[in-house]
A and B are shown apart, each in its own frame.
Chain A
Amino acid sequence: MKNWRIGIDVGGTNTDAVVLDENFNLISSIKCPTTEDVTSGIESAMHKVLESSNIDKNRIGYAMLGTTHCTNAIVERKRLKRVAVIRLGKPATAAIMPMADWPEDLKAAMNVECFLIEGGFEFDGREISPLDEAELKKIGEKIKGKVESIAIISVFSSVTDSHEKRASTILKKILGEDFPISISSEIGSLGLIERENATILNAALVEVARTTTESFVKALEREKIFDVKIYLGQNDGTLMSVDYAIKYPILTIACGPTNSIRGAAFLTHMRDAIVVDVGGTTTDVGVLVNGFPRESMVAVEIGRVRTNFRMPDLVSIGLGGGSIIKLKENGEIEIGPESVGYKVSEKALCFGGDTLTATDIVVAKGLADNIGNKELVKDLNFDMVDKVYAQMTFMIEECVDMMKTSRDDVEVILVGGGSILVPDKLKGCGRVYKPENFGVANAIGSAIAQVSGQIEKIFCLDEMERSKALEEAKHLALEEAIKAGAGFESVEVIDVEDVPLAYLPGNATKIRVKAVGDLVIS
């Protein structure tokens, strides 16, 4: 049976890989340094995790990848496509043209052409103006051969997406069925500028997504792993198929923190807790609610471009296993944010290096007997060690406290390679769980991820009962999840949110529903 899976997660410091059997038992795991090109780090992690145990490669039927390729392409402004942006909303929206506050170098890297034409909707579904199909055809002819990807954005496409879809059909007739077109209703939520930004980034990334998945397939083939189903991790902790990932590469952004929170849930069988993920350079604290990461309400910036993605709600501090400790003359202690990163195993004192790091403090305190050489840190001043340790603990406690939703004690799950830094007791916390295999929780999270479907729409409750609107929204979300590959039996609604729109009579309400299910294993 080809029912085992390999999961790989690319982090800032390490690239982790795991192999799980059909019952999700961990067969093998490995950590490798993340490389600058990302791909070679993935290849060596994959090679090592397969080599480290005698795995029958024929049993591997699924491969899951959580990667930073797309984030890096935006940050480095490399390998981005030439994009045409077509906004449907005229006469509205001209007061802010597309990409108004983008960094100039990013705009230049994408060589964008922008168009604003008639189309788009009001909040209640009326047309602002009919779609200007003649103009659209002219644009199609004009950009033929000049751009490589198109982003289409209509006003209130979350109310109805018909103009965006019609525009896409018209352009494909001119430019070819396979021409990459990103439409905003499939990418973002309310907030025209932020959704438009995300759609443009998505359009620019189609090539990156394609080469990433292709090189992943090649890496698997080089390891003699064939005919596997491949999935990529998304920022909400669920998976998407390769076809989907090539269409919506922007959704792979920031899947890392989500994977470790999901992995923590899996390793402890807990549904609600605070997850503290300590890496080599930073500590991320997130919240597990009903088995999924709590999402942030704040607009997220990617490469200094504002989007309306809902990322996991996280606080990050510069404290990790490699954090450099500086003792100042006035007695103050500075912990991080500077870090030796993955080089901790050469640079830290306890490994014979010359830099005092957070890891040395726990080794000196006798809390990590299997790490480094305790002899090498025995001369450290005892008071100083205690003081630094107390300060590190305080930093973590403060973070946990910021993420709590009530004054009551919460349960905490500790994961990540650096979690030896954290004591078993934390102020304001109930039990602190340190699950087995905590070091590769992120790769496990990537391997066990489920698939989801989500919808967000505005309903006018004057015309429709609230319960009916909710039913319809749930139905649509379940359908989306099944379309994405979720098994019919396992799919369930995990989140419902309805927000009335202030200052508007007519009872307009925004309803957002998310459904999730297990991947169908054939």
Chain B
Amino acid sequence: MRKIGVREIEDMAVGAAVLGTGGGGDPYVGKLMAIQAVKEYGEVTLLDPEEVPDEALIVPSSMMGAPTVSVEKIPNGEEPFRSFNALEKLLGQKIYATMSIEAGGVNSMIPIALAAKKGIPLVDADTMGRAFPELQMTTFNLNGIKGTPLSLCDEKGNTMSLHTINNKWTEKIARAVTVVMGGSAILADYAVTGAELKKAGVLGTATKCELIGKAIREAAVSKKNPVEAVLEVTGGVKLFHGKITDVARKTDGAFVHGRAALEGLGEDKGFYAEVCFQNENIVAKKDDAILATVPDLIILLDKETALPVTTESIKYGARVIMIGIPCDNQWRTPKGIETVGPRYFGYDIDYIPVEMRVQEAANK
């Protein structure tokens, strides 16, 4: 158990953007919300999952909707609070603590703001260990935990509760309601017990985000290599050093698809690489060999600062280091690979863990 305040939030926001693997949105608005909440209500208690009683009720808090809306119509701050109160009434039980649904953008920060306001702890865990675009892409779902009953709330005070037959329907209905609510809404879903959380969650994500942010901040001061610092705290591997030479993007309905081409620099001079993305980075190749695929994390870091380059901000000329971080082991099960593996995103590639691919390439 420890306290988190403004400094920790700043670091977590940077780290969450790294684990956002190119997606997850800009954490600026989320960060300001969390900071305002801890300034007003005091610091937040961060619980190690081991400290959570088995029978306690834990509920993630998150935003659903268009990032473009959330940077303009900023939440009021009451929404997560109200959606939690509604869910408590529905379940007839007090919620013991909250947590993040994913690492990245706004969704790492909303639970902090809520925890401060409601005076409940934040559990050091999430349900992805990274960012993914759809509501059923959680390790809770892999473990057969349903997203509903859930409650959804807008800034005006409208609250809706939802019971569905499966998590795909939840995604469909909740998204339609979100549009009526003005394009963004706050969710309380995937209620679990402490015991379920310990088994089905990705544990330690909040601390991991903080350590990444701290490593980048301190490297900038001490003039250490910031990318090395990130690799050290994440157990990641360096995949490619290069310069962006081409970017193509296409928006179809909800998602931005695209690919970025890289030309090698330094030790990778003479080689070429490619990253394919759909909101988040999906597949990385070096010449014709696959370097890494989802569900492992593929991240482009600015070569000088190690700050993450999002799929929206990739542009020609940027000097980047591509790194790979092994995903949580739950994603490496057959069901995990079926839910978020390369084939789900339309790439006919077998999933091989990134560290094995790197080892293989080194042996050649």
**Interface, chain A (partner B; CB < 8 A):** 89-97, 100-101, 120, 122-124, 126, 128-129, 155-156, 190-193, 297-298, 306, 401-407, 499-506, 510
B119 within 8 A of A: no
Residues of B within 8 A of A95 (CB): 33, 36-37, 74-77, 113
Q: Which residues in B have some Cβ–Cβ distance to A below 8 Å?
A: 28-29, 32-33, 35-37, 65-69, 71-78, 113, 155-157, 175-176, 179, 182-183, 243, 245-246, 251, 253-256, 263, 279, 313, 315-319
Can you list the 4 inter-chain pairs with the closest CB atoms, starting with the nearest? Answer: A95-B77, A402-B317, A92-B155, A122-B182
Give A197 Cβ to nearest chain B Cβ, in Å: 12
Is there contact, CB below 8 Å, between B254 and A155?
no
- Please list 16 pairs of residues, one from A and one from B, whose beta carbons are closer than 8 Å in the complex, sorted by A's number: A89-B74, A91-B157, A92-B74, A95-B74, A95-B113, A96-B29, A96-B33, A122-B182, A122-B183, A123-B73, A404-B316, A406-B316, A407-B245, A501-B68, A502-B256, A503-B66
Question: Which chain B residue shows the least CB distance to A120?
Answer: B73
Q: Tell whether, in the assembled complex, residue A190 and residue B68 are in contact, meaning their CB atoms are under 8 Å apart.
A: yes
Bound Cα distance from A90 to B255, whole angstroms: 30
Contact B66 A501 (CB under 8 A): yes
Which of chain B's residues has its CB closest to A100's CB?
B32
Chain A residues closer than 8 Å to B113, beta-carbon distance: 95
Which of A101, A155, A499, A505 makes the CB contact (< 8 A) with B73? Answer: A155
Contact A91 B156, beta carbon cutoff 8 Å: yes
Q: Which residues of B contact A156 (CB under 8 A)?
A: 72-73
Q: Nearest A residue to B176 by beta-carbon distance?
A: A505
- A401 partner residues in chain B, CB cutoff 8 A: 243, 317
Once the chains are docked, how many angstroms separate the CA of A92 from the CA of B319? 39
Partner of A123, one of B36, B69, B246, B254: B69
A500 pairs with B183, CB closer than 8 A: no
A501 to B72, CA, bound (A): 13
Q: Nearest chain-B residue to A405 (Cβ)?
A: B316
Of B66, B72, B78, B316, the residue contacting A192 (CB under 8 A) is B72
Residues of A within 8 A of B316 (CB): 404-406
- Residues in A with CB closer than 8 Å to B76 are 90-95
Least Cβ–Cβ distance between A199 and chain B, in angstroms: 14
| Max chain A Cβ within 10 angstroms of own Cβ: one of B33, B72, B155, B157 | B72
Q: A401-B317, A402-B317 are in contact. Are A501 and B75 (CB under 8 A)?
A: no
Q: Is B256 in contact with A100, judged by CB distance below 8 angstroms?
A: no
Residues of B within 8 A of A403 (CB): 317
CB contacts (< 8 Å) of B313 on chain A: these are: 297-298
Least Cβ distance of A503 to chain B in Å? Answer: 4
Looking at the assembled complex, report how far the CB atom of A248 sits from the nearest CB atom of chain B, in whole angstroms. Answer: 21
B285 to chain A, nearest CB (A): 18
Most chain B beta-carbon neighbours within 10 Å: one of A90, A122, A124, A298 = A122
Q: Can you name the residue of chain A whose Cβ is closest to the Cβ of B69?
A: A123
Is the beta-carbon distance between B66 and A502 smaller than 8 angstroms? yes
Contacts of A407 in B (CB 8 A): 245-246, 263
Chain A residue at smallest Cβ distance from B68: A501
Complex partner residue of A404 from B35, B67, B155, B317, CB under 8 angstroms = B317
Chain B residues near A122: list those with CB within 8 A. 73, 182-183
Closest to B79 in A: A95
Contacts of A510 in B (CB 8 A): 68
Q: Which of B71, B74, B183, B317 contacts A504 (CB 8 A)?
A: B183
Measured CA separation A502–B113 after assembly (Å):
25
Q: Which residue on B lies nearest to A299, using beta carbons?
A: B28
Q: How many angstroms from the CA of A501 to the CA of B35 in the assembled complex?
A: 27
Question: Quick check: A128 and B66 within 8 Å, CB to CB?
Answer: no
Closest chain-A Cβ to B180's Cβ sits at a distance in Å of: 10
**Chain B residue nearest to A190 in the complex (CB):** B72
B36 touches which of A91, A100, A120, A505 (Cβ 8 Å):
A100
Q: Chain A residues with Cβ under 8 A from B28's Cβ?
A: 193, 306
Of B32, B68, B246, B255, the most chain A CB neighbours within 10 A belong to B68
Contacts of B182 in A (CB 8 A): 122-123, 126, 128
| Minimum C-beta distance from B254 to chain A (A) | 5
Once the chains are docked, how many angstroms separate the CA of A402 from the CA of B318?
A: 6
Q: Could you say which residues of chain A place their CB within 8 Å of the CB of B65? A: 503-504
Determine if A89 and B36 form an interchain contact, defined as CB atoms under 8 angstroms apart: no
B122 CB → nearest A CB, Å: 17
